[in-house]
Amino acid sequence: MERFINTDLVVAVQLTTPDENPLVTDDSRMMDVWFGGAVVRKQLFKKVKKIDQEAFSAVLLRRGFVRSGNLLLNPRAVLFAEMEHELVGGLVTIGFGDNNRPVELKLKGEAFRELAVSLNGISG
């Protein structure tokens, strides 16, 4: 199956690997992808091959996405970020969904600090 995902519209992606889900294999991995725009929408892609998942991830990292475990986040999509605790990490808001509720993602402490550096570079 041929698949194209417009990485310019991706604001975040959660990669599922066999480490997180024992039902996932190298040929049937999953990705939750959040797309930005007037509203943020999430799409689940099932049966993504390992090589495709890694290539997709590499493209996003080259574009400046921040990695927090298997979550990749575009710093430019962040509307609001709040650190809960340096060891725990924090929450970021990447937009609002169809229900006008904020779409929030949790980042680990190290990734949150990397995000803060990226955000300072964007605004400065």
- Is the domain defined by 7-123 classed in CATH 2.40.50? yes
pLDDT given for residue 26 in this prediction: 83
Pairing between β-strand 71-73 and β-strand 80-85 as defined by DSSP bridges: unpaired
Entry field: residues in the chain = 124
| Spans of all domains in the chain | 7-123
* Residue 105 confidence class, pLDDT cut points 50, 70, 90: very high
Mean residue pLDDT across the chain: 88
Q: Is the dihedral of CA 48, 53, 93, 96 positive or negative?
A: negative
pLDDT tens per residue across span 29-88: 999 999 998 899 999 998 899 999 999 999 999 999 999 889 999 999 999 888 887 777
Among left, alpha and beta (phi > 0; psi -120 to 50; other), residue 72 is: beta
Predicted TM-score (pTM) of the model is 0.86
Looking at 1-108, list the stretches that DSSP marks H as alpha helix, in order from N- to C-terminal side.
Answer: 50-62
pLDDT given for residue 116 in this prediction: 82
Q: Does residue 1 register a pLDDT over 60?
A: no
pLDDT given for residue 37 in this prediction: 85
Residue 19, CA distances (Å) to 29, 34, 109 in order? 11, 22, 21
